[in-house]
Amino acid sequence: MQRKIKQRSHRIRLIAFDLGGVVVPDATSAIHRQVADFLSVPQSDYERAVSVFHERVTTGDSTLLEFYTAILCEGGITAVTPRQALDEHLDAYRARVLDNGYIPATIRGVIEELKSRYTVVCLTNTEPEVADLNRRKGLYGLFHRAYLSTEMGMMKPSVGIYRRVLSDFDARGDELLFIDDNKENLRSSRELGIISILYKDPEQLRTDLASVLGVQEQRKANEP
């Protein structure tokens, strides 16, 4: 049985997509595993270090290079340099996310269709060096505008990050549709009245978009 989204009266004009896990693969676990192997440390130890630095790096207060400089020093690891560790991190990201047609044709098609009728942006938690790589590869060019945690100085699920997007477009919460694969991110966005879709797969996304936006399109068609 298909999941139904409760239909409400709203006039969506802005759509925001998360990136990792929605538009492109979420490679977090694979990157952690590869880098931990490269550093010859247990993955659990590496992930503990990541958790300490996560917010600082994601909000742009620190870089991945600074993160690797710190953890190699603290761990007494001298076999590799911070730059080599960073390169391994970016190589792992590139191989799993950016290579070989990284945006599925189905998702690209959905976004292109939506762009003809709505303002479509991405809203993503990222890291400075990864954001630079994505920009060079043209990932953000798929959207009318890219909202990056590293440039905004805040990260999802902070309510402030959604307020910033709404403010930039002078929009109410119910004029924004937000698509993410993280329930916590969606939960906080709803505090502002933002309409949301929990992403699972392309087919489900199309179904939910039709449910949320179809009523709006039909209402427009019936207007004099």
**pTM (whole model) above 0.85:** yes
Task: Please name the residue that has the structure tokens 């399109």.
Answer: 217
| Spatial CA neighbour of 42 closest among 92, 91, 78, 77 | 77
Q: Per-10-residue mean pLDDT for the chain, 224 residues long?
A: 47 96 96 98 97 98 98 97 98 92 90 97 98 96 98 98 98 97 97 97 95 66 46
The rounded distance, in Å, linking the Cα atoms of 13 and 177 is 8
What pLDDT is stored for residue 3 in this prediction?
A: 46
What pLDDT is stored for residue 222 in this prediction?
A: 42
The rounded distance, in Å, linking the Cα atoms of 71 and 69 is 6
Q: Is the dihedral of CA 48, 51, 56, 60 positive or negative?
A: positive
| Spatial CA neighbour of 82 closest among 35, 44, 114 | 35
Q: Where are the domains of the chain?
A: 14-24+104-222, 28-98
What pLDDT is stored for residue 2 in this prediction?
A: 42
Please tell me the CATH superfamily of domain 14-24+104-222, with its number. HAD superfamily/HAD-like (3.40.50.1000)
